[in-house]
Amino acid sequence: MTELPAPPDQPPESANESRTDRGAQTLDPGALRSDAAVTGRARSLSARAVRTREHAGRRVEQLRTRNELVDAAFRAGDLDRRRAGSLLSGGIAFRLFLWLLPAALLVAGAIGLVQPSGSAQPDHVAHTLGLGASAVAIVRQATKQSHEAPQLCWRSASH
């Protein structure tokens, strides 16, 4: 087995050194003190957090005994958590969306049949409905495209 040359700034290794000796470093007393300081600070902050949580818990219990509204809010929150309220509300919202979207399209179509705009200009209809300037521009563009599309199809079919 051939040995690789040592880097120029390090002396060559002797054959007697083991691999564990090469990786060993001397311990710096200053580093140990700073680690102890960090650990002590973390313990201090942890103890402070526990004391703050206990104080907040006592304060909440005092408010619950004094004020029925606070107690009712906490009971409602507990009941909601026990009965998976967020899951139920998500299911209800999905079902409402599933039913309201087709219902809104049906109502919009029925209103268009019952009360057509006739020969009124799209700008006038949009302003009458209370739409803003950007919505009026979109309505104008959509109306223009809806009148152009059938003519394009008819022209291509006649050729």
Q: Which two tokens stand for residue 94?
A: 């999905």
- Specify burial of residue 5 (Cβ count, 10 A radius: 0-12, 13-18, 19+): exposed
Please tell me the least confidently modeled range out of 20-29, 31-40, 54-63, 105-114.
20-29
- Cβ–Cβ under 8 Å, residues 71 and 64: yes
On average, the pLDDT of the chain sits at 75
Q: Which residue has the tokens 């057509």?
A: 116
Please tell me the least confidently modeled range out of 40-44, 48-52, 105-109, 128-132.
128-132
pLDDT band at 17 (very low <50, low <70, confident <90, very high): very low
Distance between CA 33 and CA 35 in Å, rounded?
A: 5
Asked if the model's pLDDT at residue 73 lies above 60, the reply is: yes
Distance between CA 22 and CA 105 in Å, rounded?
A: 77
pLDDT digits (tens, 9 = 90+) for 100-127: 888 888 887 787 777 665 666 766 776 7
Q: Which two tokens stand for residue 150?
A: 């059938």
- Cβ–Cβ under 8 Å, residues 64 and 70: yes
User: What is the rounded radius of gyration, in angstroms, for the C-alpha atoms of the chain?
Assistant: 38
